[in-house]
Structure 1
């Protein structure tokens, strides 16, 4: 218990080292060695190419600094991440679509394949790509009155096979299949009941503390043994991902560039404009 108490103390009082990119900031606590990676692309952390590159760069920098763990959260008070930026998908050419999807793949494999203990402090809504990031982590604490899930089918696209497999590692297969085909977004309470998140918390600070405590449970475990064990559990999915990686990009580009899918995106953006004017 002393170690966990030191983690809590360190999280509040010990000076930390800071790194940042255009759309992320990283705080590495010198006492605990745990890094807090905050997404900060207003207003909703939508995932465009630059954001995804910044996120990937920050994840790798945290690993290269030999941090003891990584906590992913949002600088936004209402949204963890809103997913792929529709503005970069609508009326985009095939090369642009391919680049966007490739960068999403890069972020997922960096986070899902990280040897570090990873946790998500979900302090807002986490649809689509936000859910992708959260479920790539090992532990999730989420605020009430939010939603999380993969709602790609509502936009006429589909979650990739590698993400479906990761979803099935968390949810029972029947529930995962139904949720993916419906494009279902779970409320915080539904997500806890289904096992999509681990705990409900009342504030971002509490979410960060719970994540810190989770990482602290590995304090007496050999880091290399822990990392190798984690990656053995994830190896089959990672291997399958690498095998189909290029085809996955091609399939996404083919689907996202179809006129009927582009129309759905256009209608979605138009609805957002109308809501913003009210």
Structure 2
């Protein structure tokens, strides 16, 4: 039953991935065939640069979405931009982020997404409590559900996502960062799921993603105590992958995230998407089902032009020119 449940989860996720990739063909049939063969086996066996953009949004927008160009083409930046509200998550910000996520999800030219802040000293202070206080009790549940769905969609983007935490990331702000594949923080940044101070619990995935990131006992301790940690401690806990000294312009974490995105950019985009899918889905199932998922994902890169280009580039001792085909 665990194998079948895991494969259903994978099939649903892969269907979404298949719809977003050009030139790979009818992936779902191939996946189903590969998984069917593998499931049969499992059953029998077990029983540094500056911010340069190609486009700008209005300075008053709560979210500024920018597509980098030139050698950074393919990198998209989601810039949280609510300075008066410390980037608190409002109805408008949720709507704007949902549109941005949907847009890049369908764009095969996007290689990676960086979520950062345009406001010095803050990443995201969590829910907009002033707006929340004006909501009728009947509005709170649907709004939290919409915010939770947004963060899940961010986590389900097919390309790598990096959270650049140059300031405080509290409550829903940290939950947003936790949905990203990789987190980079400045040493001076503060991070925590502090909802129990308000008599509530993390409601946008924090109780699930934080334990998966740092372990159950430590996650319970931080949530029960509503404790915030700085970037250095977050690195020691495994909450972030990299912690860097803040610079004078206050964007050291962003610049480190940009360096990471630049490392990802030259690699095969279909391969990266399939690797992300295999890792994410494989972590939710047993090892044997995970290996079946890996095999199914691997089978999708075999017929691609990118794979042939990689082999040709290796033979000719030159950098590959991947096109995502």
Match for residue 224 of structure 1?
270
Distance 1:194 1:226 in 2: 26
2:254 to 193, 197, 208: 208
Structure 2 CA distance for partners of 1:87 and 1:98, relative to 1, 3 Å = same
Distance 2:61 2:204 in 1: 31
Match for residue 62 of structure 1?
104
Question: What does residue range 57-96 of structure 1 map to in structure 2 within 5 Å?
Answer: 57-65=99-107, 66-90=109-133, 92-96=135-139
Match for residue 16 of structure 1?
54
Long gaps (5+) in structure 2:
1-47, 286-325
Match for residue 235 of structure 2?
192
Distance 1:212 1:80 in 2: 16
Please give the secondary structure, in 2, of the residue aligned with 1:84: coil
Distance 1:19 1:64 in 2: 20
Structure 1: which 4+ aligned runs deviate by more than 6 Å?
A: 236-239
Structure 2 CA distance for partners of 1:97 and 1:62, relative to 1, 3 Å = same
Distance 2:278 2:140 in 1: 32
Distance 2:116 2:274 in 1: 25
Please give the secondary structure, in 1, of the residue aligned with 2:130: helix
1:37 to 61, 70, 78: 78
Query: Structure 1 stretch 117-126 or stretch 165-174: which is displaced more?
Result: 165-174
Distance 1:128 1:12 in 2: 27
Please give the secondary structure, in 1, of the residue aligned with 2:83: coil
Please give the secondary structure, in 1, of the residue aligned with 2:113: strand
User: TM-score, normalised on structure 1?
Assistant: 0.74
Long gaps (5+) in structure 1:
1-7, 240-278
Question: How far apart are 1:183 and its partner, in Å?
Answer: 1.5
Please give the secondary structure, in 2, of the residue aligned with 1:80: strand
1:115 to 126, 139, 158: 158
1:27 paired with 2:66, answer: yes
Contact 2:122–2:169 (8 Å) recurs in 1: yes
Please give the secondary structure, in 2, of the residue aligned with 1:90: helix
Distance 1:140 1:34 in 2: 16
1:168 paired with 2:211, answer: yes
Structure 2 CA distance for partners of 1:58 and 1:46, relative to 1, 3 Å = same
Distance 2:112 2:174 in 1: 20
1:55-101 Cα deviation digits (max 9, x unpaired): 12122223334311111111111111000111232253233212321
Q: Which has the larger radius of gyration?
A: 2
Distance 2:142 2:282 in 1: 25
1:102 paired with 2:140, answer: no
Match for residue 178 of structure 1?
221
Question: How far apart are 1:196 and its partner, in Å?
Answer: 0.9
Question: How far apart are 1:236 and its partner, in Å?
Answer: 7.8
Distance 1:226 1:210 in 2: 20
